[in-house]
Structure 1
């Protein structure tokens, strides 16, 4: 029997967790029996045996790795410790792991890169352009050379880790996608969501500083007018390669 996949969520907002899992599951083309879910805000990474999974996907979070340590909650500190352990395990064994959004920040720091707030992006659709390495990559190459993706983040990779291969970037955020080794990937954009998913998520996080709360209607309109069809292919291809 094929090994299942694991989705790790890092969001404490329960109303956003279920929809995120479903978005990832649909994009990967898996049924619920093949995509297990561990909420790191509730349980430790020790609750699972990582080698049991064909591949692992790390979701997003309103947490920021650039938040001063003294201001991080005990929950955030615990989650970041678990994700750092995952990153070390993934890189050491070159395992099939895909870090998204918040996860890219943890991975970047583990690898000695720098994360900063200069390249944050408002909740919107942006054009991502693949590098030459991205166009030739087994995973990223499943996407067009240019495609629109949904973003919304306060921090981003400022200095690419030395061992990382840049696969794609946008005008406002030079590091949107990179690879480490052959099988470890990280995206700043959200590969799992449709525009409808992202609008629903914007409603949950309207008071989290991604945009002024009073501009929610304008954000919904802007997102609703966007055509974002390609990024989900990244997750489908990830599942195919890892399986």
Structure 2
């Protein structure tokens, strides 16, 4: 069986390993089958994409940052992800963008990303659309479920041809699909509440919440009951292998 590839877009070393492990665990594959590439350190151009599927992790980068103010590494990462999206659509390669990646994909496909629908680190209720209930990936989830979020920007206008699969009260675009097998999710499907608490500690000075409120945020996250979103990643692996 072909391996899967996990692409990390996080410059913070302390967050890379835990995110990889969260994705691997949720997918239900062993470490020998989920390869890791850190896009902040290595270009995707150097990798042969002979894989069953690709999952793109989150990042503190924001696509709405003016290009002139983006670090050269961020500009390269976004160029790599843009080429990946285009290649996946051409090849029908299973691809799942999470959080930061949904903004990259939205812009590549001509949609609009803005800051109107940012959400603080918390658990929110997600509602599947009729298309989401019928979709082979999201259809394994209940119509309503809680998921963990934390983002400063979000999709404001879907790309042409995109199919909206899920929304929340504060963020109208939580999941969408383009083509047959390219997906993007605003919420984090990989994390448990404990995983997200650990991530909050790493990013407490990145503006997702006031650093002085870390304890309160951690307690709120730890109390959340979030179990359904991880089924998306296991289903992603199953569909890619089918």
Q: What's the TM-score, normalizing by structure 1?
A: 0.98
Please name the residue that 2:161 is paired with: 163
Task: Find out whether 1:10 has 2:13 as its counterpart.
Answer: no
Match of 1:238 among 230, 233, 236: 236
- Where 1:32 maps in the other structure, the secondary structure is coil
Q: Once the 2 structures are TM-superposed, how far is the Cα of residue 95 of structure 1 from its aligned partner?
A: 1.5
What CA distance in whole angstroms lies between the structure 1 residues aligned with 2:45 and 2:76?
12
Partner of residue 37, structure 2: 38
2:90 and 2:161 map into 1 onto residues whose CA distance is: 12
Aligned residues: 241
Deviation at 1:227, TM superposition (A): 0.3
Alignment partners' CA distance in 2, 1:3 and 1:94: 15
Q: Encode CA deviations 1:158-215: one digit per residue, 9 max, x unaligned.
A: 0011110000000000000001111110000000000000000000000000000000
What secondary structure is seen at the aligned counterpart in 2 of 1:33? Answer: coil
Mapped partners of 2:14, 2:154: distance in 1: 25
Displacement of 1:47: 2.3
Secondary structure of 2:166 counterpart: strand
Equivalent position SS for 2:10: coil
Name the SS of the counterpart of 2:189 in structure 1.
Answer: coil
| Structure 1 residues 96-128: Cα deviation after superposition (integer angstroms, max 9, x where no partner) | 000000110000001100000000000000000
Match of 1:90 in 2: 88
Distance in 1 separating the partners of 2:108 and 2:130: 25
- d(CA) in 2 for partners of 1:32, 1:6: 11
Answering whether residue 28 of structure 2 is matched by residue 24 of structure 1, we say no
Q: Unaligned regions of 5+ residues in structure 1, if any?
A: none
2:191 matched to which residue of 1?
193
TM-score of the aligned structures, taking structure 2 as reference length: 0.99
- The alignment yields a C-alpha RMSD, in angstroms, of 0.6
- Match 1:140 to one of 134, 138, 141: 138
Paired position in structure 2 for 1:225: 223
Moved over 2 A (4+): none
Match of 2:151 in 1: 153
Cα deviation code 1:120-156 (max 9, x no counterpart): 0000000000000000000000111000000000000
Q: Which secondary structure does the structure 2 equivalent of 1:238 belong to?
A: helix
* Whole-Å separation in 2 of the counterparts to 1:163 and 1:37: 31
- TM-fit CA distance, 1:94: 2.4
The 2-side partners of 1:161 and 1:144 are apart by 26
Partners of 1:8 and 1:59 in 2: how far apart? Answer: 6
Mapped to 2, the partners of 1:49 and 1:120 lie a distance apart of 35
Once residues 207 and 150 of structure 2 are traced to their aligned partners in structure 1, the CA distance between those partners, rounded to angstroms, is 10
